[in-house]
Amino acid sequence: MSHNLKTLKQEFLEYIEIEKGRSLHTVENYDRYLSRFLKFLKSDNPGAITPEIMREYRLWLNRQSSGQVNRGNETLKKRTQSYYLIALRAFLKYLAKRGVKSLSAEYIELPKVGERHLDLISSQELHRLLDAPKGSDLKSLRDRAILELLFSTGLRVSELCSLSRDLDIHSDEFSIRGKGEKVRVVFLSDEAKKAIKQYLDKRVDVEDALFVKVAHEDKNGDKEKGLTKRSIERIVKYYAIKAGISKKVTPHVIRHCFATDLLSNGADLRSVQMLLGHAHIATTQVYTHVTDSQLRNIHKQFHNKRK
């Protein structure tokens, strides 16, 4: 059995991909986080991971630049630091499972992070965004279908990119495979079905992907015709600017709007969790902080009743 950390790291990455069913995106992130730690450690011996090394690493990590453009000397956010430590803790648990002597995973405590801040746009801004694609050309029809589908389903951008054109738009629902290979059901609004039908009726190509590049976007003659995550992000950003929205708008912001719209109109948290595909309801609970109209009404009714 090899006790070489680089080899063990590679075996761990294969383990979480095959045995744990983690997505390739998650595996790539874990690889990046662990590689950074091993570079700091400067040793290939699992026994070199000690409480003292962890204290030094935590301090070093806390002082690292975020690397964000136009952020000056801003350091890594606590939440980002947590991602590094979560990956390392999972790796140490794997070492213990393999019988490799190293630091116990229980030694690693995650930094306390503040409540997650949601990037939201108002309902008026959302409606302007959805109405922004004008015209009957293929690109406008495609982009309108993308925006309507994102808001109707709350899909992640990667899930949207995975859709094929054999999607049954005559049905009100379809299944999607999301994070952790979990399958959930999402639902199509009448607006989304109409927008997708108009777009598909206009297409003359035989590509399998639901959303594909139009002629002038395919400048490099790429074999891959389906839109990428980056392409979808650029499309959303373009129409947000066109709609006069000054805030940063991404596909994930539309996913936030999907969740808050449901909760604001009376949907229960458990149902929204299932529609979003969240593994834990605690992830969904972040939305309750911006949708609790009952508390807002109580405040208006009882606060500051000066005579």
Would you please indicate which residues are annotated as catalytic (active-site) residues?
Answer: 156, 179, 252, 255, 278, 287
* Look-up of token digits 């992907």: 209
Q: Using only the alpha carbons of the chain, give its radius of gyration.
A: 23
Amino acid sitting at position 274 = M
Q: Which residues contact 253 (CB under 8 A, 6 or more apart)?
A: 119, 120, 121, 236, 247
Report the candidate in 199, 170, 198, 174 with the shortest Cα–Cα distance to residue 187: 174
d(Cα 108, Cα 49) in Å, to the nearest integer?
11
Angle at 124 between CA 117 and CA 295, to 5 degrees: 55
Residue 28 CB neighbour total at 10 angstroms: 12
Report the candidate in 292, 287, 252, 293 with the shortest Cα–Cα distance to residue 270: 287
* Look-up of token digits 């070093």: 60
d(Cα 155, Cα 162) in Å, to the nearest integer?
11
Per-residue H/E/C for 221-287? CCCCCECCHHHHHHHHHHHHHHCCCCCCCCHHHHHHHHHHHHHHCCCCHHHHHHHHCCCCHHHHHHH
| First CA to last CA distance, the chain | 79
Q: What is the DSSP letter of 187?
A: E
Residue 80 CB neighbour total at 10 angstroms: 16
